[in-house]
Amino acid sequence: MAARVEKPIRIALVTGAAQGIGKAIALRLAKDGLHVALNDISPKLDALNALSEEIKAVRAGIKSSVHTADVSKEDDVRRMVEEVVETYGGLDVMVANAGIATDKTLMETTVDEWDRIFAINARGVFLCYQYAGKQMIKQGRGGRMIAASSVLGKNGAGDRLGAYAGTKFAVRGITQAAAGELGKHKITVNAYAPGLIDTEMSRQLDQNAQENLNWKPGDYLKTYSARSALGYNGSPEDIAGLVSYLVSDEAHFVTGQTISINGGVYCD
């Protein structure tokens, strides 16, 4: 009987990993048996270091490292990818999760606010795809790239998040374009489009609604859960489960998709 050949451990890089959805994705990928490189901005270094230690305890033999960078800056993204490759010898999975929200209507949004959110949410995805994609092409062993869109990247009407919606529609287009370019290299490119997820960002939006609209505490969250066919909002672990599938061998035929995961708030 031939000896079983062990597959090499894949390497994943997760941006915006210090909290919320990014943290849940990083932990899930570690449980799935991937080495996980963690990224966020430098003020979140302590949270990244704590998560890195947590990941190392998740599963024997799994490694983790921390790479602070601003994904809106090309030099930062280039350096981040180079550091990951130097640390692990390659890169197999890029999760471009980092993003911010501007809780204003389009009529209230300034040009500076517009430029900042597009720089992080849209340019950041482009740069992560570009530098991870170049590395994966060089390696010649395929790969997986995944980005964060949103339910507001499919239906942008009716919220105080106009600029945010614009960035999340942009992520869908960038994802489709990258999938078309990289498929011949056996690199799949997809995005997840969550509804309201219980994170620090959603709780801040609830706080903003109290301050700006005189809503009661929790009303913002309740408004979204009431729209859901299931009657509740999602958790970061729900998104992590979808990402776990998209990076798996079973998802080799899924590319160019932005997958809704929103409890039925919006149906494609």
Closest of 34, 32, 260 to residue 148, by C-alpha:
260
In whole angstroms, what is the distance from residue 220 CA to residue 203 CA?
9
pLDDT number for residue 201: 83
Pairing of β 11-14 and β 258-261: unpaired
CA gap 26, 15 in Å, rounded:
9
Give the Cα separation of 82 and 87 in Å (integer): 9
Question: Alpha-carbon distance 96 to 245, whole Å?
Answer: 16
Q: Which class is 11-197+235-261 in CATH?
A: alpha beta
pTM score above 0.85: yes
3-class SS of residue 23: helix
Kindly give the confidence (pLDDT) of every residue in the chain, 268 residues in length, as a single tens digit, with 9 standing for 90 and above: 555 557 899 999 999 999 999 999 999 999 999 999 999 999 999 999 999 999 999 989 999 999 999 999 999 999 999 999 999 999 999 999 999 998 899 999 999 999 999 999 999 999 999 999 999 999 999 999 999 999 999 999 877 899 999 999 999 999 999 999 999 999 999 999 999 998 888 888 778 778 777 888 888 888 888 989 999 999 999 999 999 999 999 999 999 999 999 999 989 9
E-assigned strands of the chain?
A: 11-14, 35-40, 64-68, 93-96, 143-148, 187-194, 258-261
- Mind telling me the catalytic residues? 164, 168
Residue 183 has phi, psi (to 5 degrees) of -60, -35
Residue span(s) of the chain under CATH 3.40.50.720 come to 11-197+235-261
In this prediction, residue 213 carries a pLDDT of: 77
Is residue 232 a contact partner of residue 225, using CB atoms and an 8 Å limit? yes
